[in-house]
Chains A and B, each alone.
Chain A
């Protein structure tokens, strides 16, 4: 009796910690403590479960194995999280998300094996948890591999149609498993597991690399739902609240991200980006010429400007150029130039990716400005330095209705007096379309690796 009471109170505190933690995570000042509060709540709930949980009067057994498994998980998780580079964070989040999904799936498998002949409600929850957990697991791993550039984008139009059939198939299997359990017997659980894993792979595979943040956020909320289903299974309040909170918050975050790109979620999922549609917008670039600029000219332009805006993109992350970038900003400031960093909401591979990177390099917080504040200032900006960004400054989003990114808000770099684009080659951005900005008469290209180019620029500015 007392054990139940204590555990109930602990779960209540745990749930409260999650809510408070999530709330604090949504403001820059309190974010750090928010994370710690949520972690403390988690620790409390875990210890409470091990010590106090009882089922049919039986306390938790196999404690040695549980602690051993937790030690293994902690060791690996901690090591990976400490070692990962800041630029690889999105992949890491995706990976850990997949682990949570797999955990939920395995729980469902064990529960089914232990109680195969249970009532309808129980089976529905078990199968649903299995399906969502497995999809989240294999999908997250594909997203991870895509971001790590281990898998290239694949565009196959029939894949979407096939995916619909697979979803229908999984649901049919669940119905069979619940209504006619004798038909497939015990193996049903493995069949659903297998098909769901395949679906997770095929679901993420055709979605373009640039849309991975949205997918990760979506899979994140899937795992939340899977955890909540587990909570339903055990009548466990803290799993239920934690899971549902993440499920709903994750969904809102996903929708927010889509809104930032001005594309409906369905569009992302069907993978229109980078598909065949891009062709229409590409036709016009054949006879246009880009103008190159030398390091010295670029350095002079920046050095004698009043105001320089540096627009970072994924190229900055790839080149690991955030520290050099800060150095360049400092040296320009020393020479009396005002420098700021307009950040597009979806620059990089995840919202906030650029902010995290630049914060790592100690770029002062007020220097990062949001797109809506940056755009009115553009006509008064002498030089815009586009650093590894592409689609987020593409004017086609504003003036070419045939472009797949038409309607996405952009940073209006073209309105600045001079635009310098640092880029490795003329290759297209992740949307797979040509950037009209590169051909504007106020634009000049500085070909090279972002870090390398910045280092040369710093040296050149120093000499002046």
Chain B
């Protein structure tokens, strides 16, 4: 119980953020027409590429003689960038096709 109280008080801010984000995510996605399911999934896929920021932090604070951390950090940044860039570009390509037919 004491452990829980400590955890809660220490991370109160984040707990708020998590709960509000969960509700927001549900709210934002409700009533989406089926047409947009694929692009939406793809867009969400690009957004979780935000994990790249963790990779940058890992890489940026790795001691310059710790080759394992540097190597893995490098890999992590490449993977994260793939997720972000690939995700957004693919989503954009899908959505461009919706634009064309407005002409």
Binding site for B on A (CB under 8 A): 14, 18-19, 21-23, 25-28, 31-32, 34-36, 38-39, 42, 45-46, 49-50, 53, 55, 58-63, 65-66, 68-70, 72-74, 76-78, 80-82, 84, 86, 89-90, 92-93, 95-97, 99-100, 102-104, 106-107, 109-111, 113-114, 121, 216-217, 220, 223-224, 226-228, 230-250, 252-253, 256-257, 260, 343, 345, 350-353, 355-356, 359-360, 362-365, 368, 370
B82 near A216 (CB under 8 angstroms)? no
A99 near B47 (CB under 8 angstroms)? no
**Shortest Cβ distance from residue A159 to the other chain B in the assembled complex, whole angstroms:** 26
CB-defined contacts of A370 to chain B, threshold 8 Å: 33-34
The 8 listed contacts between A and B (C-beta, < 8 Å) are A28-B35, A93-B87, A96-B86, A106-B73, A239-B54, A243-B51, A248-B23, A253-B29
Q: Residue-by-residue, is B43-81 near A (CB-CB < 8 Å gives 1, otherwise 0)?
A: 111111111111111111110101011101111111111
Bound CA span A74–B87, Å: 11
CB-defined contacts of A241 to chain B, threshold 8 Å: 17, 21
Given A65-B70, A96-B45, A106-B57 contact (CB < 8 Å):
no
Bound CA span A96–B80, Å: 9
CB-defined contacts of B82 to chain A, threshold 8 Å: 73, 76-77, 96, 99
B28 near A22 (CB under 8 angstroms)? yes
A239 near B53 (CB under 8 angstroms)? yes
Q: Pick the residue among B26, B85, B93 that contacts A249 (CB under 8 A).
A: B26
**Shortest Cβ distance from residue A250 to the other chain B in the assembled complex, whole angstroms:** 6
CB-defined contacts of A260 to chain B, threshold 8 Å: 34
Bound CA span A382–B60, Å: 66
Q: Considering only CB atoms, which chain A residue lies closest to B62 in the complex?
A: A62
The interface residues of chain B, by DSSP majority, are classed as helix
Given A103-B80, A253-B29, A58-B61 contact (CB < 8 Å):
yes
CB-defined contacts of B93 to chain A, threshold 8 Å: 81-82, 86
Bound CA span A114–B72, Å: 12
B45 near A31 (CB under 8 angstroms)? no
B34 near A351 (CB under 8 angstroms)? yes
B89 near A62 (CB under 8 angstroms)? no
A249 near B100 (CB under 8 angstroms)? no
Bound CA span A272–B32, Å: 28
Besides the contacts A97-B83, A252-B25, what 5 more A-B pairs have beta carbons closer than 8 Å? A60-B60, A66-B60, A81-B89, A107-B51, A370-B34
CB-defined contacts of B24 to chain A, threshold 8 Å: 19, 245, 248
A109 near B72 (CB under 8 angstroms)? yes
Q: Pick the residue among A216, A244, A363 that contacts B17 (CB under 8 A).
A: A244
**Shortest Cβ distance from residue B95 to the other chain A in the assembled complex, whole angstroms:** 4
Bound CA span A21–B99, Å: 17
**Shortest Cβ distance from residue B2 to the other chain A in the assembled complex, whole angstroms:** 13
Bound CA span A232–B56, Å: 15
CB-defined contacts of B22 to chain A, threshold 8 Å: 244, 247-248
**Shortest Cβ distance from residue A228 to the other chain B in the assembled complex, whole angstroms:** 7
A107 near B76 (CB under 8 angstroms)? yes
A104 near B81 (CB under 8 angstroms)? no
B39 near A249 (CB under 8 angstroms)? no
**Shortest Cβ distance from residue B77 to the other chain A in the assembled complex, whole angstroms:** 4
Given A38-B88, A245-B21, A96-B83 contact (CB < 8 Å):
yes
Q: Considering only CB atoms, which chain A residue lies closest to B17 in the complex?
A: A240
